[in-house]
Amino acid sequence: MRHFKETLYRWVFTILAFASLLFLVGIILTLFRESYPLLAGHNLHDIVFGRFWYPTYDPPEFGMFPLIIASFVVTFGAMAVSVPIGVGTALFLNELASESQRAVLKPVIEILAGIPSIVYGFFGMIIVAPFIQNLLDIPTGLNAFTASLVLGIMATPTVASLAEDAVSFVPRSYREASLALGANRWQTLIRVVVPAAGSGISTAIILGIGRAVGETMTVLMVAGGAAAIPASLFDPVRPMTATIAAEMGEAVMGSAHYHALFAVGLILFLITLVINIFAEIISRRFRLKLGLGR
């Protein structure tokens, strides 16, 4: 009887643990199956590098380049905001902040991370976009720049808290060794702590990129929604995620448009997969470097 129970538990937990794998396989299969009709009918190069996304025209055009470029522009813009702030925050928290400053800042960062993305989108739409529009005197504040800014603020807590972990993993003994050799705090930080935490910080940045690439609500609300290749940062854009969210409702199930949106999802999935693999490789190297084992 006891033996039976143990076997039962074992199986139940094994199945639960492997459920994620099942979900992953299911999602990949669905993405491939649903985007296949489009991919089969068109040249891959035309899809990825096609300049015109007119899914409802007759005949429709499914050039995804404007969407892909929009995602890249907005993501890198967001990184330009979140990397300096996030990494700077992490270093400040670890090296300079007093106990009381830390006690305030760390929960603030966590709260920032917990704000739903639609609230960020709302904030971007109502506050940031009109501000940018008036400030620069441009036709619309809903553009790549504003989306980068809002998305950057949103990704900052991710970058900050992961980078903070990386920096706090640097053993105290490295700092002591450096200070004992007559280095000041700044030299210790730049020459010992940051290099030792380097790949951990890179992982933080890559995961921040992952967060920004996949974010939907905010970009849907503040990026402006124009599916055209932007001529400048201040043009409205339509990143991949926003495209899917905006168009899925109106695409007829089984239509070419429907399959094209799945193809957008597939490309998005492949991009985030590559990002995650990179993050994993780098963080493994980081653990080895600090002798923390595999």
Partner 1 sequence: MDRDVKISARNVNFYYGKTQALKDISIDIFQKKVTALIGPSGCGKSTFIRLLNRMNDLIPGARVEGRILMDGADINHPKTDVVSLRRKVGMVFQNPNPFPKSIFDNLAYGLRIGGVRDRGFIERKVVDSLKKAALYEDVKDRLHDSALMLSGGQQQRLCIARCLVVEPEVILFDEPAASLDPISTRKIEELVLELKEEYTIVIVTHNMQQAARVSDYTAFMYLGRLIEYGDTERIFTVPREKMTEEYLSGRFG
Angle in degrees, 0-180, between the axes of helices 65-91 and 256-289, rounded to the nearest 10: 30
C-alpha 114 chain-centroid distance: 15
- Count how many residues are written for the chain: 294
Contact status: 169 vs partner 1 (CB under 8 A): no
Contact status: 173 vs partner 1 (CB under 8 A): yes
Comparison of 196 and 207: residue with beta carbon closer to partner 1: 196
- Distance from C-alpha of 204 to C-alpha of 153, rounded to nearest angstrom: 15
- Distance from C-alpha of 233 to C-alpha of 145, rounded to nearest angstrom: 5
Return the residue of 144, 196, 237, 256 that touches partner 1, per CB under 8 A: 196
Quick check: helix, strand or coil at residue 260?
Answer: helix
Least separation in angstroms between residue 98's CB and partner 1 is: 9
- Nearest to 235, CA basis, from 248, 243, 224: 224
Least separation in angstroms between residue 181's CB and partner 1 is: 4
Comparison of 196 and 204: residue with beta carbon closer to partner 1: 196
Contact status: 294 vs partner 1 (CB under 8 A): no
Comparison of 42 and 289: residue with beta carbon closer to partner 1: 289
Return the residue of 127, 171, 232, 273 that touches partner 1, per CB under 8 A: 171
Return the residue of 180, 231, 252, 253 that touches partner 1, per CB under 8 A: 180
Which residues partner with 62 through β-bridges? 53
From residue 93 to residue 132, the character string flagging contacts with partner 1 as x (rule: CB under 8 A) and all else as - is ------x---------------------------------
For residue 243 the two structure tokens come to 């495209």
* Cβ–Cβ under 8 Å, residues 67 and 238: yes
- Distance from C-alpha of 94 to C-alpha of 76, rounded to nearest angstrom: 26
Least separation in angstroms between residue 191's CB and partner 1 is: 7
Site residues (CB under 8 A) for partner 1? 99, 171, 173-174, 176-184, 187, 191-192, 195-196, 289-291
